[in-house]
Amino acid sequence: MEEQNYIEGIFRALKTLLVGLKTSIKVFFEKDVTEQYPENRSTLTFSEQNRFCLEMPHNEKNEHKCIACGLCQMACPNDSITVTSEMITTEDGKKKRQLVKYEYNVGQCMFCNLCVRACPHDAIRFNQDFELGVFNKAKLIMQLNHPGSKVEEKTVAPKPVAQVTAPKPVTSAPGQTDKKEE
Amino acid sequence: MFDFSIITKWFHTLLTGVMPEWLAIGIECLIVLLFIILLYAILAIALIYAERKICAFFQCRLGPNRVGKWGLLQVFADVLKMLTKEIIKLRQTDLLLHDMAPYFVLTASFLTFACIPWNKGLDILDFNVGVFFFIAISGIGVVGILLAGWASHSKYPLIGAMRSGAQLISYELSIGMTMLTVIMLNGTMQFSEIVQQQADFGWNIVRGHVPAVLAFLIYLVAGNAECNRGPFDLPEAESELTAGYHTEYSGMHFGFFYLAEYLNMFICGAMAATIFLGGWAPIYFPGMDGFNAVMGYIPGFIWFFGKAFFVVFLLMWIRWTFPRLRIDQLLSLEWKYLMPLSMINIILMALVVCFGLTL
Amino acid sequence: MTLDIRTVASSELHNEMMRLKQERHMDFLVNLIGMDWGEEGGLGVIYMLESSKTGETAEIKTSTMDREHPYLQTVSDIWQIANIYEREVYDFYGIIFLNHPDMRRLFLREDWQGFPFRKDDKPEEENPLRMDNEPLADTTKEYFINADGSVGVKENVIFAPDDYVINIGPQHPSTHGVLHMRTRLDGETVTKIDPVLGYIHRGVEKISESLTYPQTLALTDRLDYLSAMQNRHALCMCIEKAIGLEITPRVQYIRTIMDELQRVASHLLYYGALVMDVGALTAFFYTFREREMLLKIFEDNFGGRLIMNYNTIGGVMYDIRPDFAKQVKEFEKALRKRFHEYQDIYSTNIIALNRMVGVGTLSQEQAISFGCAGPTGRACGWHNDVRKRHPYALYDQVEFKEIIREEGDSNARHLNRMDEMLESLNIIDQLIDNIPEGDFQTKRKPIVKLPEGSFYQAVESSRGEFGVFIESKGDKSPYRLHYRSNGLPLIAAMDTACRGEKIADLIAIGGTMDFVIPDIDR
C-alpha cells in the first residue's frame, strides 16, 4: 500500500469502501434468514439420521425386543446405558435372561450410535425428539422399557420388522449377526 | 415557517405578569430541563431500537421481535433490567473518580444536546459563539472517558482510555476545521443564525458546493470517530479490550456510557443536519412554487429530525460495514489525510466565499 | 502406515538429531510423542521427522530406564516446536529435558501431583478437586549437566516484576475459547506472549487407552470440532490399514466429499470469526448464512451438525441420502454466487488490507520449524499439503491446486483459506456426479484388534496435518494413541508472529491462524 502515490491511494481506498457499502446495503434489502423457533415447530423436519434421544420401541402389546444381552452397555464409551436383568426359568425349564430395567442417561450420551449398531435385535433406536431440556438433572436418566412390558416372542429369525433405525441397504451392516461373541 | 419564539415569548410575558422575573426564569429553566431530560430519554430509546433493527437487517437477521409488537418494548425491558442491576464497587479503584466518570460523559452529552436548534425559535442555548461553545463542551466527554479508564485500576480500561484520549483529541481538530469552513460560508457562529441563512439562501451543502460536500464527508468521518463508533470504536474494541474503558462498570453507570454513546451519535447527526443540511429549513427548489409551499407546511422540527436521522442512518451503515482500524492507522488517517484535506478545504472555501462563487 | 522406528541411545540423541537435520534436511518435526513402555522399556520419546524438501521421513525413539529422575536431551534448539512438545511430554510423563529453557507444565496446573500418562500413575489419589486459584509462576526452570556430570537447575525469568502483562483470556471475546495468553506490552506493542493452556484439556489420549477401538472414534470429533470429518477419517484409516481392511470405492468417494465439505464449513466459520475479531460484525453473518445450508446437509445425511460421528471402521455410519448430490450442488451454487460478497465487504476492503498486509509475518523457515502446516504454512511458501505429499482416499485421482503464497503474512493466510474454499468446491465438482454404487460398510470382525506395532496416518484437516499415531500391543484398545494437533504449533508460533505488532494485530493474527482450542487441549 505504501508505494502507491498519495492521491491515487485515497481514491483507491474510497473505491473499496464504496464497494463495501454497496454490498452491505444490498444485503440490507434482502430477505432475512432467521428461523422463528418455536413458532416453526410444526414445520421443522429432521431426517431419520438425526440422533437426539435413545428410545426402545414397543409394539401395541407393550412388548419390546430387548433380550438384555448388555452389548449396548458394553459398546457405550461413556457408560450412559445401564441394563438390569434377571434370570428366570421358563415353563419348559430353560433358563432365560429377562430385562428388568433399561436405564439411559441422556446427560452423558455422546450420540455416537455405537449402541444401536451393537444391538443384534434392533431393540433400540434414536428418535427425533430434540427438545431435551429439563430443569432437574435426575430427569435426564430415563427408563426406556415401559412398565409392565416384556420381550417380544420370537417367531422368526432375529431380523425384525422395525427397519427404522437407519435406511439399511441390501447388504446388512456389519457385526449384525456375529456380534454376540463380543 | 412557524416561529416557535412566539410561544416562548408569550409564555414569558404570561409568567412575568404574575411573578417577579427571577422566579419566571427559574420556572422556565425547570421546564426546559424537564424537556431536555425527557427528549434525551425518548431519543435514546428510539436510537437504541433503531440501531438494533437496522443492524439486524444489515446482518440478515430480524432483530428484537419478542417483547411487544416488533420488539418495541425490548429497550424498555433492557432499561428496567439495567436500573435494577447492582453498581459494583471494586477493590482498589479510586471510588470518587470511578463514580464521577460516567457523569462527566453524560454532562458533556447533555450540554451539547442543548445546543441543537430544534425548530425556528426553539433553541435552548443560543448565543453568538455557539459553535465555540459546542466544540468546547464536547471536549468534556474525553475527561470522563480518561477518568473511567484511569480510576478503574485495571489494565484493559487503561489502554482503552489512552486510545480514546488520543483519538478524540485528534479528531476534534477535523471537526473544528469543518465547522470553520461553514462559519466562513455563513459568517456567523450562532447556530440559529446559521440555520436561518440556510432557510433564506439554500442549504450549505448546496450553497457551498465542492468545499461544503468535502467538509460534510470529513465531518461524517470525524464525527463518527468522536462518537467512538465503528469503525473507530477502538476505545471499546470489544474483540481486543473486552469493553475498553467501561469494562469495570456495571448497572446504570455502564448505562450512562451507553446512553451517552447513542446520544452522541444523534448529536453528531443533528449537527451535520444543522450546519450542512439546513437544520429545520424545508427543502426548496427555485421555480417550483407549489411544491415549495407544500414543503413549507411541514413543521420545522420534523424536517430537522428527518435530516438528523438520515445522517444517523449513514453512520450506522458505515458502522455495520467496515472492520475496525488499528490505533496507529486511526491516527495516521487523521493527521495524514483528514487534517491536510480539511486545511485545503478551508482555503478552497475562502476562495469560494471571496470570489462570490457560492450557489 | 506401519512405522519402522529406529532406536537411538539417549546419550547420542542430540547429535543424531542434529545430523539428521543438517545432512538429510529433516527440518519438519511432525510429532514428538511421549511414551511409557513400562518396567521393561522405560520412559521414552518417539520423534517423527520429515524433510520439507524431499519428503523423506524418519522415526526415532529413545528411552531412559530411570523412572525417578528421567533425563533426556532436548531438541528444542533444533526445532522450535520441540519447546512446547517437550513441555507436554514433561507434563504427562515427567521426563525432564536437559537444556530445555522452560521446563514447566503445559496443560496441567502447576501444583499437580504426579504424571498422569504414566501407566502406574494414579491421578485421582493425589489430586483432589482444588478450589483455590491456579498459581502461575513468573519464573521457570532449566536443567543442565554440570561439568562433573551432576544435574544442575537454573531459574529463567518469563516476566519481570515491572513488566506490563495483560491476560488475554481465558475469558476473552477473541480467543475463540478458553485460551489464555499472558501478553507483555510496551504501550500498545506486544513484546512477548506466554500461552497458558489446558483449561479444557480432557485427556482424550489417556481416555482412549481404556476404550476399544470403535469407542475411541467417538472422541475424535471433539478434538478439532471444525475438522470432525477429517479427524475421524484419519483414525478410521489408521485402524483400517493396520488390520488390512479394504474400503469400497463408494466409501472412498463419500469420505473425500465429506472431507472437502467439512473444509468449506471450517473456512466459512474461519472467515466469520476473523472478521468479527477485526470488528466487521456484519460480514460474520454472511458466511454463517451459507454455512447454515451446509450444516443442514450434514444434519440430513449424517445426523449431526457439528459432531457427526460419521466415519466408522470399514465404512461410514449411514448411506448418503438420494438427494445428497442435489443438495450439495445447490449449496455450491449458492456459495459461488455469494463468494464475491465476502471479498467485497472484507477481503478487498482498504481497512482490512491495512490490518492484514505485512502483519504477523512468518518466514518459511519459521513456519517449518514450528510445524505450522496447513494454510498457515502454505502462506509462507511451504508445500505441505498432505493430500499431495501422501495422497489418501481419492486425492491422487482428482485434480486440484495446492494453494501457495509466499508472503507469510496475515493477508496471505486469509486469502489462502478463501482460495481453498473454491478449490474444495472444485474437488467436490469432480466427484459428486460419479459416486459409484456399492456397500457403505465393509464387513469386519466385531472385535477390532490391531496387530502389534506402531501405526501412523495423516490427513489434511481444515487447518493442517492431522495425524494419528497408534502403538498397539495386540489388544482391543490402543497402548498409546497420540493425535498430532494443529493448534499447538500455531499457538507456539504466535509469540514469534506477534512480537513487535500491536494488540489489535495480535487479535487479527490469532484470527488468521485459526486455531481451535479443543484441538490444542486434547
pLDDT tens digits for range C141-183:
888 888 887 888 888 888 888 888 888 878 887 777 788 888 9
Alpha helices in C32-99 (DSSP H): 38-41, 82-93
**How many residue pairs bridge chain B and chain C with CB atoms within 8 Å of each other?**
83
For residue C380 the three cell numbers come to 509462507
User: A30 in contact with B at a CB cutoff of 8 Å?
Assistant: yes
Say whether C316 sits in a helix, a strand or coil: strand
The reply to whether C175 falls in a domain is: no
**Which residue from C minimizes the CA distance to A76?**
C215
Q: How many angstroms away from the CA of C443 is the closest CA of chain A? A: 5
From B63, B56, B43, select the one nearest B261 (Cα to Cα).
B43
Q: Which of C174, C185, C355 sits opposite B323 (nearest CB)?
A: C355
User: A20 in contact with C at a CB cutoff of 8 Å?
Assistant: yes
Q: Which of A23, A27, A32 sits opposite B62 (nearest CB)?
A: A32
Say whether C378 sits in a helix, a strand or coil: helix
Cis, bond preceding B231 (omega within 30 deg of 0): yes
**Yes or no, beta carbons of C443 and A126 under 8 Å apart:** no
- C131 and C256 in a single domain? The answer is no
| Model confidence, pTM | 0.86
Residues of chain A positioned with their CB less than 8 A from the CB of B322: 17, 20
Dist. CA B306–CA B287, nearest whole Å: 24
Share of chain B above pLDDT 90, in %: 0
ipTM value, please give it. 0.82
A169 pLDDT above the threshold of 60: no
- For residues B181 and B212, the answer to whether their CB atoms sit within 8 Å is yes
Share of chain C above pLDDT 70, in %: 100
The reply to whether C179 falls in a domain is: no
Mutate to test the interface with A, among B52, B54, B59 (most CBs of A within 10 A): B59
Tens place of pLDDT per residue across chain B (359 aa): 667 777 778 888 888 888 888 888 888 888 888 888 888 888 888 888 988 888 888 888 888 888 888 888 888 888 888 888 888 887 877 788 888 888 888 888 888 888 888 877 777 777 888 888 888 888 888 888 888 888 888 888 888 888 888 888 888 888 888 888 888 888 888 888 888 888 888 788 878 788 888 888 899 888 888 888 878 887 776 777 777 788 888 888 888 888 888 888 888 888 888 888 887 878 777 777 777 777 777 777 888 888 888 999 988 888 888 888 888 888 888 888 888 889 998 998 888 888 877 77
Chains touching chain B, criterion 3+ CB pairs below 8 Å: A, C
When pLDDT is cut at 50, 70 and 90, the band that residue A165 belongs to is: very low
**Which residue from C minimizes the CA distance to B325?**
C351
Residues of chain A positioned with their CB less than 8 A from the CB of C297: none
Last residue of a domain, one of C157, C188, C221: C157
Q: How many angstroms away from the CA of B78 is the closest CA of chain A? A: 22
Q: What is the per-residue burial (b if ≥16 Cβ within 10 Å, else e) of C172-197? A: bbbbbbbbbbbbbbeebbbbbbbbbb
Amino acid letter, B13: T
**Yes or no, beta carbons of B324 and C504 under 8 Å apart:** yes
Amino acid letter, B104: F
Q: Which helix (H) or strand (E) holds A126?
A: strand A125-127
Residues of chain A positioned with their CB less than 8 A from the CB of B317: 21, 24-25, 28
Last residue of a domain, one of C95, C129, C157: C157
The reply to whether C213 falls in a domain is: yes
Q: What is the pLDDT of residue A3?
A: 55
User: C349 in contact with A at a CB cutoff of 8 Å?
Assistant: yes
The reply to whether C323 falls in a domain is: yes
Options 3.10.105.10, 3.90.45.10, 3.60.15.10, 3.30.70.3270; CATH for A53-165 is 3.30.70.3270
- For residues C1 and C455, the answer to whether their CB atoms sit within 8 Å is yes
Q: Which of A24, A30, A33 sits opposite B321 (nearest CB)?
A: A24
Can you give the residue range of the structural domain that contains C471?
204-520
- C244 and C303 in a single domain? The answer is yes
**Yes or no, beta carbons of A27 and B58 under 8 Å apart:** yes
Domain count, chain C: 2
From C282, C416, C418, C310, select the one nearest C362 (Cα to Cα).
C416
The reply to whether C43 falls in a domain is: yes
Amino acid letter, C240: E
- C42 and C113 in a single domain? The answer is yes
Dist. CA A75–CA B357, nearest whole Å: 87
Instruction: Give the CATH number for residue C272.
Output: 1.10.645.10
A168 pLDDT above the threshold of 50: no
Alpha helices in chain B (DSSP H): 5-18, 21-58, 74-84, 95-114, 130-138, 140-151, 155-186, 191-201, 204-207, 209-226, 238-241, 251-275, 289-297, 300-319, 327-332, 339-354
DSSP code of B122?
B
CA C227, C229, C231: angle at the middle one, nearest 5?
Answer: 65
A164 pLDDT above the threshold of 70: no
Q: Where along chain A do its domains lie?
A: 1-33, 53-165
Dist. CA C303–CA A111, nearest whole Å: 9
- C262 and C347 in a single domain? The answer is yes
The residue length of chain B stands at 359
The reply to whether C276 falls in a domain is: yes
- Tens of pLDDT, residue by residue over A9-51, are 788 888 888 888 888 888 888 777 788 888 888 888 888 888 8
- Tens of pLDDT, residue by residue over C181-231, are 889 988 888 998 988 888 888 888 888 888 888 888 888 888 888 888 888
CA B112, B114, B118: angle at the middle one, nearest 5?
Answer: 115
**Yes or no, beta carbons of C307 and A111 under 8 Å apart:** yes
- Tens of pLDDT, residue by residue over B282-340, are 877 777 777 777 777 777 788 888 888 899 998 888 888 888 888 888 888 888 888 88
- C294 and C365 in a single domain? The answer is yes
Instruction: Give the CATH number for residue C132.
Output: 3.30.460.80
Q: How far is CA C341 from CA B42, C291, C316, C346, C358, in A?
A: 37, 14, 35, 8, 24
The reply to whether C348 falls in a domain is: yes
From C235, C276, C129, C265, select the one nearest C450 (Cα to Cα).
C235
Residue whose entry in the numeric block shows the C-alpha cell 464504496? A18
**Which residue from C minimizes the CA distance to A13?**
C350
Alpha helices in C156-227 (DSSP H): 204-208, 213-220
- C132 and C264 in a single domain? The answer is no
- C128 and C218 in a single domain? The answer is no
Mutate to test the interface with C, among B156, B162, B240, B242 (most CBs of C within 10 A): B240
- Tens of pLDDT, residue by residue over C84-125, are 999 989 988 888 888 888 888 888 888 888 888 888 888 888
- C95 and C240 in a single domain? The answer is no
For residue C303 the three cell numbers come to 445426523
By a Cβ cutoff of 8 Å, what residues of chain C touch chain B? 164, 166, 172-174, 185, 188, 275-282, 284-286, 289, 345-346, 349, 351-352, 354-355, 502-507
Q: How many angstroms away from the CA of A28 is the closest CA of chain B? A: 4
Dist. CA C510–CA C273, nearest whole Å: 10
The reply to whether C129 falls in a domain is: yes
**Which residue from C minimizes the CA distance to A51?**
C303
